Chains A and B, each alone.
Chain A
Amino acid sequence: MAPSSRERTSVVYIALIFALVLSAVPLPEFLAAHRPDWVALVLLYMAIYTPGHWLMTSALIAGLVMDALFGAPLGQYALALIVACYLPHKLHLRLMLVPIWQATLTALLFLAVYQFVLFWVNGATNNDIGAAFHLWPIVSAIIVWPLTLVILDTARLGRRKKS
């Protein structure tokens, strides 16, 4: 499927930087736990809708940036992003055509894998925060993912494709 001349793929990179900033913005305690995983969601979008455009490299770089921002062991977020992006990328042809509610389910599964890797590394490095902290962002994604999908699709293609 060749990118049409009206497709602006560079939008996703701008969105990725925006997502990184959103991840770093300080939020009050009661909101912070529910913050959606913006960077992961943008990379999921990239995996399904703009495959082949340096997905894994972007995941690696975005992950390392997050590790530096958050003081995490270098590679923790990168690993989580890379592992989580594998399946969506592999199945992107099928996932591309799916209606929004099913796409949201995919997003939830993707985020579950992402959070699981983070949880695993946290456990391995004796940084045990409660498991609840890993689950709230997945819940937030139920609302956030469809919005993200629509915004990024509109920005990239000019209008949401009927599917």
Chain B
Amino acid sequence: MPAGSNGVHRLSHGRALGLRTFLLSLACITLMMLDLRTDVGKPIRSVLMQITYPLQAVAALPATLANWSGDSTRSRAELALENARLKRERLLADARLQQLNVIIAENERLRAMLDARPRLGTDVQVAQILGVDADRFRNRVVVNKGASDGVVAQQAIIDANGIVGQIVSVGPYTANAMLISDPGHAIQVEVVRNGLRTVAFGAGDKDQLEIRFLPNNTDIVVGDLLVTSSLGGEFPPGYPVAEVTAVEIRPRQEFAKVTATPVAALSRMREVLLLAPLTPPAPDESNDGTE
């Protein structure tokens, strides 16, 4: 085998190949451990996301084109019907909003009377799903807002129905988000009916979350609505998360098997809302007259 004269690198033969593979594998494992345990990976990932942005944009083209052509070819009758429906829904929503404003004002007055801290307002930002993340192992999406739009990690994401997930990593123009159905995701929830606090874990299934560690005699039934709890975490309290679909008492096990279906349409999202990042409440300003 002539060496060096045929364009094939000498290093790719024999023991040198094995050594190179071994060293590169070791480097990859080290990189993985660093990425998982420390923050060293974040700048690298950010740079990689910047470089791969054109790739992502191209990859998103077919879906965008399909949506655009779907939207552009609807009949006038369809559009007129949808227009009427949206106007009706808007009217109903406005009516409830009037109620809401009154309640917010009352709430502020009551809190002021009790000397409690004022409730935080919530700003929202509309974003589009650039593509359902193609890694079938993770329930992730890419949104079309990034650091240049003020997006930060751990921002909550909702759709029209409820909680969708949270931002995980931010690129300059896009951001990766983890859905609540991701096995690596757990969200603190509260049962609306009785205030019971528990945690909903993702299990890889967009239609099913697992509520783990509930004793068999817990007061939870099929149909209960779970909302984000006020116990802290990245999500503002009170947003719908999921509805309980099955409660299985297992007498010989410690915990019951409870599953819930997310209320957000995790498989069919196009537009979502990014909620403003929760800042910790300002320290109580006591009434000592120094203001």
Contacts and interface: CB of A to CB of B under 8 A. Distances in A.
Interface residues on B, range: 35 or more
A21 B135 CA distance: 13
Given A2-B7, A82-B21, A83-B21, A25 B62 contact: yes
B131 A24 contact: yes
B197 interface: no
Interface stretch (A72-80, A103-111, A154-162): A72-80
Contacts of A130: 204
Interface residues of A, number: 52
B87 to A, nearest CB: 31
Interface of B: 5-9, 12, 17-18, 20-21, 24-25, 27-32, 34-36, 41, 44-45, 48-49, 51-52, 55-56, 58-60, 62-63, 131-138, 140, 168-169, 176, 178, 183-184, 204, 206, 267
A57 to B, nearest CB: 9
A144 interface: no
B132 A26 contact: yes
Contacts of B176: 71
A65 B55 contact: yes
A63 B138 contact: no
9 contacts: A1-B8, A29-B206, A64-B48, A69-B55, A70-B134, A70-B138, A118-B137, A127-B138, A127-B183
A37 to B, nearest CB: 11
B167 to A, nearest CB: 11
A52 B41 contact: no
Nearest to A29: B267
Contacts of B132: 26-27, 32
B133 A71 contact: yes
B238 to A, nearest CB: 28
Interface of A: 1-3, 17, 20-27, 29, 32-33, 35, 51-52, 55-56, 60, 63-65, 67-76, 78-79, 82-83, 85-86, 89-90, 118, 121-122, 125-130, 133
B6 A2 contact: yes
A126 to B, nearest CB: 7
A71 B49 CA distance: 10
A60 B178 contact: no
Given A21-B59, A127-B138, A73 B35 contact: yes
Given A29-B206, A68-B48, A129-B137, 19 more contacts: A24-B59, A24-B134, A26-B62, A26-B63, A26-B131, A51-B8, A60-B28, A64-B48, A65-B55, A68-B45, A68-B49, A69-B55, A71-B169, A72-B137, A73-B32, A73-B35, A74-B31, A75-B29, A83-B21
B230 to A, nearest CB: 28
A63 B135 CA distance: 13
Closest 6 CB pairs of A and B: A70-B135, A68-B48, A24-B59, A52-B8, A75-B31, A79-B28
A73 B36 contact: yes
